A and B are shown apart, each in its own frame.
Chain A
Amino acid sequence: MYRELVLQSAKLSITGKGMIYIILFVASSTIYLFMFDIQLVFVNMMLLSFVAVLTSILSDKKTLVQYILVLILSGARKKLILICIRVYLILRLLPIIIAYVMYLLRFSLYIIMTVTLIAYVVYMFSLSYVLYKVLRR
C-alpha cells in the first residue's frame, strides 16, 4: 500500500509542470556556476534554489492540494499522508541536489552543502506538516 502510493506521489511530482521550472533553474545555475567559479555565486545559487523550489511547489499547488484532500477523503492515515507529501516535495529537490553535488565535488564546500541539505529537509518536513494541518482543518 505504502509503496504504491509513494510511487503515485513520485509520479505526480515528476510529471507536474513545476518540475520544468526546477530543471530550467538547475540548467541555468549549473551554467552560471561553471562560468563564474567563485564561492559567492554558489552561495547565492543555494539561496535562490529555495525560491525555485517554492515557485515549483506553488505552480503545482492545485494538484498537491487535490492530492492531499483525496488522500484524506479516501481514509489514508496521517503517517501515510505525510510520507506522500514528503516524497512529492523531496523529489523536487533532487535535480538541484544532483547539480550541486556535481559542482561541490570539485570545490569541496561540503559544510555549506550539508547545512543546506539539512535546512531543505527541515523545510520540507515542516511544510508537509503545515500543509497537512491546514488542509485537515
Chain B
Amino acid sequence: MKRIVAIVRNLWKYYTMCGRTVPVLKNVNLYIYRGEILCIHGPSGAGKTTLLKILAGLERPDQGEVIVEGYNLMLLDEDGLAALRANVISYIPQDYGLIEDLTVYDNIEIPLMIIGLDEEERKSRIYSILEYMGLIGKENIKVKVLSGGEKQRVAIARALAVTPSLLLADEPTANLDWENAKKVLELITKISKDFETAIVIVSHDPRVLEYAHRKYVLYDGIISEVK
C-alpha cells in the first residue's frame, strides 16, 4: 500500500482584486503519495502557483486543510511552517530560487546550514548531490553564468539537499527549450524513483504530463483528475 505524504481537503483560497473577492481555488481535494510524480496542468492564472505555495506553507488557505507528513499546516505558526520547509517540503519557484551572485556550492549549502549540519557533513552531502545531478566541476561557478538547464539542476540540487518528502516544482520547464526540459524531467523521474520523493509539478506545458504518474487539470480554480 502506498504511503500518503500530503492531503489537501476542501481547500478554498480567495484573493481581493479591485475591491472584489475572487475565489482562486475552489474546493480542491488531493492526495499525494510517496514516490509519485503528480502533475497539475492548467492555463496561466488558473491558481496552480497558489496551490503549490499553499502546499509549501508559503501561503495560507482561507478554508480547508493541508496535511503534510502528518502536520496540519493550518495549525502551525510561521516558525513551524519554516521548520517544515527546512526538513520536509522543498519548493522550486519558476525563477529557480537561487542567488545568482553566489556559487553553485554556496547556494546548495544554505539549506544545509539552516538544518544545522557541520561543515564536513555539508561538504560530503553537497558533493554527493552534485555528483548525482551531474554538476561536478561546476561547484565554484557563479550561478549567473550557468545556462537555464544548469540553473534548473542547481535549483533541484538545492531543493534535494535536505532530502525532502515532498518536492514542489513550479513550471520547471518554462524557461527551457524542449531538449533541456526533457533532461530536467528525466532527472525528476529518477529522483522520484531513487529517493521515493513525492513530486508535484505544475505546468502549462501539456508535454510534461507524459512524465507524471497521475495528472490533474486545474481550470478556473477547480481541480479534476485526468484518467
* Given A1-B116, A8-B106, A12-B102, A76 and B97 contact (CB-CB distance below 8 Å): no
A5 part of interface (Cβ distance < 8 Å): yes
Is the pair B114, A66 in contact by a Cβ cutoff of 8 Å? no
- Which positions 52-90 of chain B face chain A at CB distance < 8 Å? 56, 58, 78-79, 82-87, 90
Which A residues touch B83, using CB under 8 A? Answer: 75, 77
Is the pair A15, B114 in contact by a Cβ cutoff of 8 Å? no
Is the pair B58, A72 in contact by a Cβ cutoff of 8 Å? yes
**Nearest Cβ on chain B to A122's Cβ, whole angstroms:** 24
Which B residues touch A73, using CB under 8 A? Answer: 56, 58, 85, 90-91, 93, 97
Count chain A residues whose beta carbon lies closer than 8 angstroms to a beta carbon of B.
Answer: 22
**Nearest Cβ on chain B to A60's Cβ, whole angstroms:** 8
Which B residues touch A12, using CB under 8 A? Answer: 99, 101-102
A62 part of interface (Cβ distance < 8 Å): yes
* Given A1-B113, A5-B114, A70 and B98 contact (CB-CB distance below 8 Å): yes
Q: Which of A66, A69, A72, A74 neighbours the largest number of chain B CB atoms within 10 Å of its CB? A: A74
Which B residues touch A76, using CB under 8 A? Answer: 82, 86, 114
What residue in chain B is nearest A62 (Cβ atoms)? B100
Is the pair A63, B101 in contact by a Cβ cutoff of 8 Å? yes
What residue in chain A is nearest B81 (Cβ atoms)? A75
A12-B102, A80-B114 provided; 12 other pairs, C-beta below 8 A? A4-B113, A5-B114, A8-B106, A16-B101, A66-B97, A66-B101, A73-B85, A74-B85, A75-B83, A75-B114, A77-B78, A77-B79
Which B residues touch A16, using CB under 8 A? Answer: 101
Task: Please name the 10 residue pairs, one residue from A and one from B, whose CB atoms are nearest each other, closest first.
Answer: A75-B86, A75-B85, A74-B111, A66-B99, A1-B116, A75-B82, A4-B113, A63-B101, A77-B79, A77-B82
Q: How far is the CA of A67 from the CA of B158 in the complex (A)?
A: 13
- Which positions 35-53 of chain A face chain B at CB distance < 8 Å? none
Is the pair B82, A70 in contact by a Cβ cutoff of 8 Å? no
The residue from B58, B79, B99, B111 contacting A63, defined by CB atoms under 8 A apart? B99
Binding site for A on B (CB under 8 A): 56, 58, 78-79, 82-87, 90-91, 93, 97-102, 106-107, 110-111, 113-116, 158, 162
The residue from B79, B84, B86, B158 contacting A78, defined by CB atoms under 8 A apart? B79
Q: How far is the CA of A73 from the CA of B58 in the complex (A)?
A: 8
* Given A5-B114, A74-B110, A76-B114, A66 and B82 contact (CB-CB distance below 8 Å): no
What residue in chain B is nearest A68 (Cβ atoms)? B99
Which B residues touch A15, using CB under 8 A? Answer: 101
Which B residues touch A33, using CB under 8 A? Answer: none
A71 part of interface (Cβ distance < 8 Å): yes
Which A residues touch B79, using CB under 8 A? Answer: 77-78
* Given A67-B99, A75-B85, A75-B87, A8 and B93 contact (CB-CB distance below 8 Å): no
A-B contacts, 28 listed (Cβ < 8 Å): A1-B113, A1-B116, A5-B110, A5-B113, A15-B101, A16-B101, A62-B100, A66-B98, A66-B100, A66-B101, A67-B99, A70-B99, A70-B107, A72-B58, A72-B82, A73-B58, A73-B91, A73-B93, A74-B110, A74-B114, A74-B162, A75-B85, A75-B86, A75-B87, A75-B114, A75-B115, A76-B114, A78-B82
Q: Which of B78, B85, B90, B113 neighbours the largest number of chain A CB atoms within 10 Å of its CB? A: B113
